[in-house]
Amino acid sequence: MFKLFANGQVLQPDMSFRHCDILVQDDSFYDLLEPGETARKPVESEVDLEGQLVFPGLINAHDHLIDSCWTGLGKTPVENWFEWNQSIHESNVYRQMQKLSVTDLYVIGMYKNIISGATTVVDHFPAEVSATFAGHPLVSLLEHLYLAHSVSSHQLKWGANPGEQFKQARGILPFMIHAGEGIHQEIREEIEQLNRMGALEKNTILVNCTFLEDADLQLIAARGAAIVWLPSSSERIFGRQPDIKRILELNIPLTLGTDSSITGSTTLLAELKNAWQYSQEHLQGAITARDLVRMATNDAARVFGLEKQAGTITPGRRADFIVFKPESDSDDFEHFINMTPENFSMVVHKGMMMIGNDEFRRISSIDFSQYSEVKLNGTAKILYGQPAQLLERMRHKLGSEIVFPFFNIASED
């Protein structure tokens, strides 16, 4: 099935814009055509984007979908991640959360991501759980990933042995692990320990890195490893950010993630805005809005080996993209970062509109029963699935009302 998204201002891999039509075949980009150029394939549905901007779907480089629930739990700030983690498990709110099914939590987490334009999510959790949700219509989960929680004795046991996991990645597939999340002596030695294990290489992806020192960062740079920055999580839990200035100076590959919502994060779009504000206030604008969009698209795809699947609007890649109206006299990238999810005209995953304005209903799916009419933060939208039923089921299990700051929806009257 071919769909034509005509008359868009499409962000290119070099971060320039091209006025063109997008031809999608099933779940992939098929071609980019000059405006008005006749498609050489039978187009079954067409929509005029009326000159709106089109960005690639974002890549959330780090989330724990199983912890998609209330935001901002636990004692903060702390000096070490395990202190925060202990306070989480001692809280009544967290115990309440255990009444909810893994499936419901994962789907809520997927909704959190798709409404903010994140069409690909790196779920930092063992494959025996996360793989169950591979192929879900809402978002794509990174399927080929080896991981551990961390290397200190405080590590959570859901991650396998770091050394074994790294070996299984064979130096090719991504190996993800938390690092630098505290001042405890064992945590301070994590990077050196990874290096001694031979597990610090180009396919190693280090999450958070809030307390890493210059010697650690130099070693990471020498080994070619990458870092995932979690702006909201770092600030709330530890009251500080990683040494982003030094990370940039050393040209360490850097991308962004949300972390789980219980850390205080909401959406990837909000993380981009937080990172941009941090750059303005502490880095003299060294990271621009354009840089941040690239970090969450092209750069993230490269870090996770997804160059042939996601990250740019290129023929052959998944048809994941975001459509939104430009704002006159405004930088397009800054405008994007300052938006909120309800302002997007549509978010498309694998060629299907997951959320969007009613006028785009005709290109979403043949079976309109797959969609719900909702209000997202008070704005009318068409949303894939039956989220109201999901929320009602969760309320019933909890025996109380629940409101997600990252997913404020209501059924349309």
In the predicted structure, residue 216 carries a pLDDT above the cut 60: yes
Q: What is the pTM of this model?
A: 0.97
Of 119, 57, 116, 114, whose CA–CA distance to 297 is shortest? 57
C-beta separation of 345 from 360 below 8 A: yes
Phi-psi region of 209 (alpha: psi -120 to 50; beta: other; left: phi over 0): left
Tens-place pLDDT, residues 14-73: 999 999 999 999 999 999 999 989 999 999 989 999 999 999 999 999 999 999 987 788
Residue 103's nearest CA partner among 71, 84, 130, 75 is: 130
- Domains of the chain from N-terminus onward: 58-303 (3.20.20.140)
Q: Do 61 and 316 contact (CB within 8 A), yes or no?
A: no
Amino acid at 4: L
Whether 394 contacts 402, CB under 8 Å:
yes
Helix axes 102-115, 387-398, angle to 10 degrees: 140
**What is the C-alpha separation between 199 and 158, in angstroms, rounded?**
19
- pLDDT at position 121, please? 98
pLDDT higher than 90, residue 268: yes
Sign of CA dihedral 199, 203, 207, 210: positive
**Secondary structure of residue 37 in the 3-state scheme:** coil
Q: What is the pLDDT of residues 179-199, one digit of tens each?
A: 999 999 999 999 999 999 999
